[in-house]
Amino acid sequence: MKKSILIAIVAITLFVTGQAQVAKPVLKDSWLTGCLADRGTFILQSADYCVWGCAPVYDDEGKVHVFFSRWPLDGSWLTNSEIAHAVADKPEGPYKVIGTVLKGRGAGYWDAYTVHNPSVYRVGKKYVLLYMSCGESDPERLKTIAPEAGENVGMAIADSPYGPWKRFDKPMVDVTLSPKAWDSYSVVNPGLLVHPNGEFWIYYRSWDRNNDNRRKTGVAMARNLEGPYIKYDKNPVIDFPEKGGQTEDPYFFYYNNKFHCLIRDMGNYDHLSGLYLESDDGLHWGEYQRSHYQGSHYFPVSDKCRYERVQVLFKNGEPEYLFNAIVHTDGTTSGAVLKINLPANLKKKPEENLTKPLKVYKDTVDFSKAPVRKSDKLPLSDQRNSGKWKLLTANSDEFTGTQLDTVKWYPNNPGWKGRPPTYFHGSNVKVENGNLVMRINQHGSDPLPADFTHTSGFIVSKKKFLYGYFEARIKAMNAPWVTGFWMSNEGKEWWTEIDICENCPGVPENRHDLNSNIHVFRSPKDQGDVKEHFSRNAKYYIPFELQNDYHVWGLEWDKDFISFYIDGVLFRKAENTHWHQPLKININNESNKWFGALPDDNRLNEVFKTDYFRVWEK
């Protein structure tokens, strides 16, 4: 083992020094470099195995779980690697090795023989392991093929870090089947990032042996955790040949409104320390900085020992420790843990600690067969009137004229003043140019109650409705206030709610979100006898940004089903088990911490417009 490690170090050194000689500027330290402790701790040292690539995660009880690659001392990662699991009360250990979690499944599987380089994540209540493997099950043949050839990216999911782990029949990210593709040789060293827009991104490294023989990083994207993952059409996203070196083993995370990448240096500056990159969108990355120094800076090893495969342990949303693989002076390997000491100015900004709903999209809305309106007298989704709908003109409103029709509407919410920091105030409601227009902070010098700092608009129908078809054409506000078109009745014994439109595209990460929520807060015995609030919620992905145009929101409600529409397209049909109470119509905008929607004083001029509200009955 010692001899093989030394040979590998020599080979890498020759590879790096054999690159074209490019003048390299001094590498600047990143914000992370200065946060790292002076000394670290070795973990998972073994007399029987080579240990590599330690991926950490906390469980709900505060224990630290590490998933790591290991293979016998007389074996090879290419032929014998498996993923093992260890647990400790604190990041520095000591660790108890629980056993093997994943290994090659044998002939007939895409991950037949070796399973290597894990990374682990919490996604909602699930634990997610990414790994690399290949379908070659013959160990003798594996010894003869080039390193990494045919390796792909896999995923395993569990409800507990102790398993059981669900694997998939196909890789999550596969090589591209094209002889000239940059990633047709291998797809390895995966990292998962839950994007602020709710998508799931898997970054991966490939070795472009078909073109320029460089190691490069790309990304594949999905709207659901289990895929399908589609490769970004402008891959690779990290490769800077003009700097003279290469990179590998990337680790990505989103923190303080930025995308961050920690990646191994393979000759840009040296091949023993780590690099740091930052991005605003996760696709276009800035200049190299240093993430960490070589291993001998923090650990009692020689200056030539490799220190790589960086992973980050997060606690309460903050980066707390670096976990790396390290080669010792005697050639053995283990994990290495290094504390991250974040100063107050680098910790999460307070507004990021909002309670936001977990973004798991139920489906993508397909607009390829969206209907074209032929008659304003019929719901957009039923222009042939197969439902035998009759427009209730006395209860509908085209918002013509110059004032709100107070025969139909309360100009403010008579029963709810708002929730801090936004107070509902009638001054924010106007009828202009054929639209209901809602603004922010039009209350002038009127004093506001304690804890309220801003005002917004709210109208409520004076009539309650039981069943029917309800439709509004809305242009959502492009500012961090929630756009609402919903129905409710807050009775003492009976309180239910149907949210037709509850979206906040003024917050960039929400612009493709379509929320669909139905609530029961309480109900009488003959209506289910509900004592505690429950809801049935679903989130859908839309392939455009909501705030850029008007959209038609529709609800078809009868005794059996509640059906939701946008632009005439049905996207959700829920069984009606409890929603049999006459409900009011609400149109409003407000602050709402669950959507990250806190007032922004730089965006007070934005408006929320409703072109019309219409209601039909059968």
Angle made by CA atoms 484, 598, 535, in degrees to the nearest 5: 45
Residue 535 has pLDDT above 60, yes or no: yes
Query: Are 581 and 466 in contact, with CB atoms under 8 Å apart?
Result: yes
Query: What is the pLDDT at residue 5?
Result: 41
Residue 307 forms beta bridges with which residues? 326
Tokens 């994540």 correspond to 121
Residue 173 forms beta bridges with which residues? 153
pTM: 0.59
Query: What is the pLDDT at residue 23?
Result: 53
Structure tokens at 310: 């960086």
Query: What is the pLDDT at residue 25?
Result: 63
**196 vs 175, which has greater pLDDT?**
175
* Residue 320 DSSP SS3: strand
For the ranges 38-42, 246-250, 333-337, 606-610, which has the lowest average pLDDT?
246-250
Query: What is the pLDDT at residue 20?
Result: 44
Query: Are 237 and 218 in contact, with CB atoms under 8 Å apart?
Result: yes
How sure is the predictor about 424, in pLDDT bands with cuts at 50, 70 and 90?
A: very high
How sure is the predictor about 597, in pLDDT bands with cuts at 50, 70 and 90?
A: confident
Residue 343 has pLDDT above 60, yes or no: yes
Q: What is the number of other CB atoms lying within 10 angstroms of the CB of residue 50?
A: 25
* Residue 189 DSSP SS3: strand
How sure is the predictor about 140, in pLDDT bands with cuts at 50, 70 and 90?
A: low
Find all residues with CB under 8 Å of 613, minimum gap 6, and list them.
396, 397, 399, 436, 470, 471, 472, 585, 587
Structure tokens at 597: 């929607």
Residue 575 forms beta bridges with which residues? 561
- CA 524 – CA 580 distance, rounded (Å): 11
Residue 9 has pLDDT above 60, yes or no: no
Residue 450 has phi, psi (to 5 degrees) of -55, 140
Find all residues with CB under 8 Å of 140, minimum gap 6, and list them.
none
Tokens 């780590």 correspond to 274
456-496 pLDDT per residue, tens: 999 999 999 999 999 999 999 999 999 999 999 999 999 99
How sure is the predictor about 317, in pLDDT bands with cuts at 50, 70 and 90?
A: confident
Mean pLDDT of the chain: 89
Query: What is the pLDDT at residue 138?
Result: 52
Query: Are 69 and 80 in contact, with CB atoms under 8 Å apart?
Result: no
Structure tokens at 142: 């594996």
The residue-averaged pLDDT of 198-210 equals 92
Sheet holding 333-339, edge to edge: 41-43, 333-339, 318-327, 307-315
CA distances from residue 375 to 341, 382, 495 in whole angstroms, order as listed? 64, 10, 35
How sure is the predictor about 329, in pLDDT bands with cuts at 50, 70 and 90?
A: very high
CA distances from residue 72 to 80, 115, 305 in whole angstroms, order as listed? 7, 13, 20
Find all residues with CB under 8 Å of 471, minimum gap 6, and list them.
379, 380, 552, 553, 554, 555, 565, 612, 613, 614, 615, 616
112-122 pLDDT per residue, tens: 888 999 999 99
How sure is the predictor about 352, in pLDDT bands with cuts at 50, 70 and 90?
A: very low
**What count of Cα atoms within 13 Å lies in the side-chain half-sphere of residue 473?**
16
